[in-house]
Structure 1
Amino acid sequence: MDFKTFLIIAFIASSIISGLDIWVWSKQRKDKLEKLRSKKRNIEYEDAQKILEKPDWVSLSDTAFVMTCIAAVIWMMLPNFELILVVALGISFVITLVEKFYMEKKAEAKVQALYQIKTHPDEKEIEAVRKLPWWIDYGWSFFPLLLIIVLLRSFFYEPFKIPSGSMKPTLWVHDFILVNKFAYGLRLPVTKTKLTEGDAPQRGDVVVFRAPHEPEKDYIKRLIALPGDTVFYNQKHELFIIPNCDTDSARENANNAGLQCGVKNLIHRRLVSDDGFENTDVYEETIGTVTHQILVHEKDIQYGQYRYIPGWRASYEANKRVYPNLTERKFHADRGSFHYDWAKGVKVPQANYFVLGDNRTGSSDSRFWGFVPEKRMVGKAEAIWMHLEFGFEDKKNPDKGGIMSYIPTGVKFDRVQGIK
């Protein structure tokens, strides 16, 4: 039985049981108490509570109903964790308002009514009257914590976990990084509406963004080219840029990056180590003012694996007729083919960026699914704050390691460092 089926069965069963208790069994318990009071006027409070008390299995059903509702909401919003937090904050805020402006007043009114009936009511009875439902109690208790988390994640720094090797050797799988959310301007959570301008992204920045072909998924790559730049990328994995020099600021930016206007500038790289990182050649590359390492697999150069396939344009059009929601970005990303013929040069549109993974022969990036719109920028990756090792993970097939593969077995403190 898969999780979805289990969730549906648990929801239906718990809703039926809880519904029967609300509309049938609770009424039967109250009728039983009233009959007993008609025979015996002075019934102890504890005895009355025992009669009205739900059976344990019904209480368990109520808990299961709430938990399945929460699980269903989270399931629908995955993998958008930010949306989950914002929805949870909204719910807790509403619960806080209900608790402060309604439930507390209602509880005090019940206490006053109790004192009118009994001059000296039992302390346990007073406590029971004032007691708020558990969901109210938890709801407003979590509100301050959720508010702090949402504010920190949305406007200051957000933690991310590196899920793939596309940024090796700069970032490894299971690195935990901090992303500066205000570097490129503050944005509202979920909607990503820009509130402040911030600094413009620069060549060489390691950036986090919402993938244009997978809108709900965060990607991390290195920003290579700015709006107006023309990018060339050949089968030897050589990178060239003709910088945008249309304005004074663009020319100054190009000069600061060591790029000559009107010239096809080769982005310099030098071999650092043969098979130096996981049997892959390590090069040192300088883009803009940033010098970093990249990986290029020698076999990819040797066999000239250039992935632009002109005939796939017709294949995309045929698939589009069958799957109307299919985008050209998604089509090329799924097939590992280049979006454009980068060897001939492609100009970066305005308000867009060209990004590459540092693992040049093992990354899905702008070569495959095109440019990143500015509105999809999330922030700038600034530091690695932790790296976990998972000793039970199947290195060749990490997705098939079973539940044991999620158990961390160590921490590499030497990975804690700034990102360049």
Structure 2
Amino acid sequence: MFSFANMADLFSLILTIATLGTGIVYCLDKFVWQKKRQANDANESKTSGWITQSRSLFPVLLVVFILRSFIVEPFQIPSGSMEPTLLPGDFILVEKFAYGLRDPVFHETLIHTGEPKRGDIAVFVDPQNPKIDLIKRIVGLPGDTIIYRNKTLYIKPACKSGETCKPAFKVPKSYVGPTKFTELGTTLNEYKEHLGSVNHMILRDPVLPEQYLSYYQQDGAEIGEWIVPKGHYFAMGDNRDNSDDSRYWGFIPEKNLVGKATFIWMSFAFNHKASSWEPSWIPSSVRFKRIGTI
């Protein structure tokens, strides 16, 4: 049964109904009611107010509907799980058509346009809680074997029947140094990771031990090892020790994908002093250098 728990889904439903409703009124008035008024020598100014308003709203709603449902959707970064790539207060645009054109209410794929690639930053509906959307980096594709041990990522790529399967390889990374990012007073270390064709930064906590006992345990696999099922993906946050991701709850169903993060269109900082009178939700500054990046 369809659930309206996710506010984005509820907004999509309302937008769809409003667009459809005003569209029907627009078409009826243009092709039926207007002709009747002209036949009766009625003046256009006598048109009912609600009809006039519907005709005015329909083009605007139609443009918003097409843009939001099939092209791009804004998304705010709510947490630090993707630091240092994405920071709380970043506003990004999500390319909705990157992984297929879907209907805006039930999310069934209408036209297949592409699939997530290793290294993509994807927005998806949380498999544990459909009320919220998450953003993580795609690490594992269908059929891949993902291994995460000693805070090191290994990948054994999927192979088709009859092909020579490649062994698992260690994803290359190089140490950059300590950062300005902290967790419970501990300075986090930064590494440059080479995930396929994507080079990006990750953070690691030098004090926090690996949380093996909290990892999602897949049937028949060792702890810290996962085989990505068909039609699913494996995702991790760039802030490796401070991210609730596939290591802890499993895989992302293809139907949960919302789109691909493309660029930051606005970035606000909320660094208020303890003595500040300003509410915490009011930005303290704009991070102009982050705009246009990802």
Task: Give the TM interval when normalised to the shorter protein.
Answer: 0.7 to 0.9
Return the offset for 1:307: 4.2
* 173 and 189 in structure 1: CA distance in 2 versus 1, 3 angstrom threshold: same
Contact 1:152 1:158 in 2 (8 A): yes
Aligned to 1:20: none
Q: Does 1:138 align with 2:53?
A: yes
Distance in 2 of aligned mates of 1:237 and 1:200: 27
Out of 16, 21, 25, the residue aligned to residue 86 of structure 1 is 16
Q: Does 1:306 align with 2:211?
A: yes
Distance in 2 of aligned mates of 1:188 and 1:94: 19
* 214 and 190 in structure 1: CA distance in 2 versus 1, 3 angstrom threshold: same
Aligned to 2:215: 338
Map 1:11-410 to 2 at 5 A: 78-80=7-9, 81-97=11-27, 99-100=29-30, 130=46, 132-133=48-49, 135-234=50-149, 236-246=150-160, 261-278=165-182, 279-300=187-208, 304-308=209-213, 337-340=214-217, 343-390=223-270, 404-410=279-285
- State the TM-score, normalized to the length of structure 2: 0.82
Report which of the two has the higher share of strand. Answer: 2
Distance in 2 of aligned mates of 1:219 and 1:405: 23
* 82 and 406 in structure 1: CA distance in 2 versus 1, 3 angstrom threshold: farther
- State the TM-score, normalized to the length of structure 1: 0.59
Contact 2:76 2:92 in 1 (8 A): yes
- Aligned residue for 2:261, secondary structure, equals strand
Paired residues in the alignment total 282
Return the offset for 1:355: 0.4
Choose between structure 1 and 2 for higher RCO, CA contacts under 8 A separated by at least 6 residues. 2
Contact 1:166 1:357 in 2 (8 A): yes
Aligned to 1:411: 286
Contact 2:121 2:135 in 1 (8 A): yes
Contact 1:103 1:132 in 2 (8 A): no
Distance in 1 of aligned mates of 2:115 and 2:5: 34
* 76 and 291 in structure 1: CA distance in 2 versus 1, 3 angstrom threshold: closer
* 344 and 212 in structure 1: CA distance in 2 versus 1, 3 angstrom threshold: closer
Distance in 2 of aligned mates of 1:418 and 1:356: 20
Contact 2:5 2:131 in 1 (8 A): no
* 76 and 230 in structure 1: CA distance in 2 versus 1, 3 angstrom threshold: closer
Distance in 2 of aligned mates of 1:351 and 1:131: 52
Return the offset for 1:199: 2.8
Distance in 2 of aligned mates of 1:392 and 1:373: 39
Return the offset for 1:299: 1.6
Report which of the two has the higher share of helix. Answer: 1
Distance in 2 of aligned mates of 1:76 and 1:202: 29
Return the offset for 1:200: 2.7
Return the offset for 1:77: 6.9
Distance in 2 of aligned mates of 1:414 and 1:269: 25
Distance in 2 of aligned mates of 1:79 and 1:403: 29
Higher alpha-carbon Rg: 1
| Identity over aligned pairs, percent | 41
Aligned to 1:58: none
Distance in 2 of aligned mates of 1:408 and 1:109: 58
1:284-320 deviation line (CA, Å, top 9, x unaligned): 11111111111111121xxx24242xxxxxxxxxxxx
* 407 and 243 in structure 1: CA distance in 2 versus 1, 3 angstrom threshold: same
* Gapped regions of structure 1 (runs ≥ 5): 1-74, 113-125, 252-260, 309-336, 395-400
Distance in 1 of aligned mates of 2:283 and 2:256: 32
Return the offset for 1:410: 3.0
- Aligned residue for 1:299, secondary structure, equals coil
Contact 1:357 1:365 in 2 (8 A): yes
- Aligned residue for 2:66, secondary structure, equals helix
Distance in 2 of aligned mates of 1:76 and 1:192: 14
Q: Which amino acid aligns with 1:411?
A: V
Deviates more, 1:344-353 or 1:268-277: 268-277
1:390-413 deviation line (CA, Å, top 9, x unaligned): 45598xxxxxx9993333343221
Distance in 2 of aligned mates of 1:247 and 1:286: 28
- Aligned residue for 2:97, secondary structure, equals coil
Return the offset for 1:388: 2.1
- Aligned residue for 2:78, secondary structure, equals coil
* Gapped regions of structure 2 (runs ≥ 5): none
